[in-house]
Amino acid sequence: MRIVLDAMGSDACPEPEIHAAMEAARLFTDEIILVGPQKQLETILKGIEAPSPNIRLVDAADVITMEDKGLKLALKAKRQNAQNTMAVGIDLVKNGEADAFVTAGNTGGALATAYYRLGVISGVERPGLTGLFPVKEGYCVVLDIGANPDCKPEHLVHFGIMGAVYAEKILGKNEPRVGLLSNGEEAGKGNQLVQDTYPLLEASGLNFIGNVEGKELFQGRADVVITDGFTGNILLKSTEAVAKLITDLLRQELLSSTRTKLGALLAKPAFESIKKLIDPAEVGAAPLLGIDGLVFIGHGRSDQRALVNAIRVTRQAINSNLLNALQTAIKERIASLSAQVKP
């Protein structure tokens, strides 16, 4: 197994990436291909005792930064001879020199680079950005969390098909329950997009459980929740923000007196489980579903542990032949849907 890790992705790059590559190469004995400015990476690696023989460096002088956007970003993503880590890394996947690409860098950059260089799975129009949301028990696959602010019903159906494959292959869910995010449970609730998508999902052959509200999502009623990229992004960022608001306030209040400090010390095990619940490092990374290749994106704040977990989930995707399963599911379900919807 050969996994490309963008050495210049995370906010604190490239140290977390180098150490994560070392750890992953040791743990999994896979080849980890670090893509980045070779000399800089070599200097750091030289300072490390006994670097793993399973690490290979591939030079990429340029970087897509968090500030890159619009035309500049599109050009960096698209240009044939682009020398940024994402373009170089994704080309390794394209050329069959690696099985998957992992980055904790600019999400829009990874999306654009993957889209231009790998294209989409046949039958898919729009790739969806996937998130794993911690829920009451386990995780819920949510997409799209930001790639497509405006979606058509068929895009949402494709997200449902792909999300179900992901939940099955990676989370081990049998007949994953697919829900449509809405402002009310009953069929007929929702905005126009939701109302137009509902009958298509009913006819899709997926285990469609109908509309789900935000409340039910976090209660774990569905394994996969699908939505447009605008709503999904607001869902992601606002719930992250509320979790942070509560934990920040709690921390502040707990440190406000000797009594509460002592209480916090005693109650520490309880806080650890909260921390685990809302820590993006637990999940590691989530895929761009619909891209014709395996591309996983982690949080910008990823540390070594998060990046090792990102590589871990990417390995699972390779091992379970996720890409092939996605291609097959899209082909079969779309054919069956067309047969039903346009008789």
Q: Which residues of this chain interact with a copy of itself, rule CB under 8 A?
A: 69, 134-136, 146, 149-150, 181-184, 186, 189-192, 194, 213-215, 217-219, 227-231, 233-247, 249-250, 253-254, 256-257, 259-260, 262-271, 273-274, 277-278
Least distance (Å) between residue 133 CB and a copy of itself: 9
> Alpha-carbon distance 57 to 262, whole Å?
49
Structure tokens, 318: 């390779």
* Terminal Cα-to-Cα distance of the chain (whole angstroms): 45
- For a copy of itself, the closer CB: 260 or 327: 260
Output the smallest distance, CB 41 to a copy of itself, in A: 32
Q: What's the chain look like in SS3?
A: CEEEEECCCCCCCCHHHHHHHHHHHHHHCCEEEEEECHHHHHHHHHCCCCCCCCEEEEECCECCCCCCCHHHHHHHHHCCCCCEHHHHHHHHHHCCCCCEEEECCCHHHHHHHHHHHHCECCCCCCCEEEEEEECCCCEEEEECCCCCCCCCHHHHHHHHHHHHHHHHHCCCCCCCEEEEECCCCCCCCCCHHHHHHHHHHHCCCCEEEEEECHHHHHHCCCCEEECCHHHHHHHHHHHHHHHHHHHHHHHHHHCCCHHHHHHHHHCHHHHHHHHHHHCHHHCCCEEEECECCCEEECCCCCCHHHHHHHHHHHHHHHHCCHHHHHHHHHHHHHHHHHHHHCC
Complex with a copy of itself: residue 39 or 237, whichever CB lies closer: 237
> What tokens were used for 338?
């067309």
Pairing state between β 128-134 and 139-143: antiparallel
Least distance CB 278 / a copy of itself (angstroms): 7
Q: Which lies closer to a copy of itself via its Cβ, residue 55 or residue 129?
A: 129
Nearer to a copy of itself, 262 or 341 (CB): 262
**Are the C-beta atoms of residues 83 and 60 closer than 8 Å to each other?**
yes
Smallest gap from residue 156 Cβ to a copy of itself (A): 14
Q: Name the residue nearer to a copy of itself (CB basis): 185 or 202.
A: 185
Least distance (Å) between residue 265 CB and a copy of itself? 7
Smallest distance from a copy of itself to CB 61, Å: 28
Euclidean distance between CA atoms 22 and 55, whole angstroms? 7
Q: How far is the CB of 172 from a copy of itself (least distance, A)?
A: 22
Given the complex with a copy of itself, which of 27 and 242 has the nearer CB atom?
Answer: 242
Could you tell me the smallest distance in angstroms from the CB atom of residue 220 to a copy of itself? Answer: 10
- Considering the complex, state which of residue 45 and residue 187 has its C-beta at the smaller distance from a copy of itself: 187
Which residue lies nearer to a copy of itself by CB, 181 or 311? 181
Residue 96 vs 269, nearer CB to a copy of itself: 269
Task: State the nearest-atom distance from the C-beta of 246 to a copy of itself, in Å.
Answer: 6
